[in-house]
Amino acid sequence: NADPNGKTSSQTIPNGLSLIIKKGDVVKADEALNADPNVGGFGQEDSEIVLQNPIRIVGYLAFCLSILVTQITLVLKKKQFEKVQAA
């Protein structure tokens, strides 16, 4: 692959893939090199995993805990109200 400055680059392709290009062909970025659509094209790179912000995770856990406590108190209040009704 040649960039506008004329610099060429190459990519090693693992064995076992059925190629749709030949050695020496000019390809564009992200162009398919083989017939398998699940394997990337020329110029694709592995990217790192982006984790959630820890503050968002703590906030989510606090939110879930508050919902849990609210539900428990509502159930207990309903049981208390049923006891008053039965008396």
* 16-69 pLDDT, tens digit each: 777 888 877 877 777 777 777 666 555 556 666 777 889 999 999 999 999 999
Residue 40: the pLDDT is 57
Instruction: Mention every residue, 6+ apart, whose C-beta is less than 8 A from residue 64.
Output: none
Whole-number Å distance between alpha carbons of 19 and 17: 6
Residue 60: the pLDDT is 95
Burial 42-58 (b: 16+ CB within 10 A, else e): beeeeeeeeeeeeeeee
In this predicted structure, the answer to whether residue 15 has a pLDDT above a threshold of 70 is: yes
Average pLDDT over residues 65-80: 96
Residue 2: the pLDDT is 57
Reported confidence tier of residue 78, pLDDT bands at 50, 70, 90: very high
Residue 52: the pLDDT is 80
Instruction: Mention every residue, 6+ apart, whose C-beta is less than 8 A from residue 43.
Output: 1, 11, 29, 30
Give the helix, strand, coil percentages of the chain, each rounded to 5: 40, 5, 55
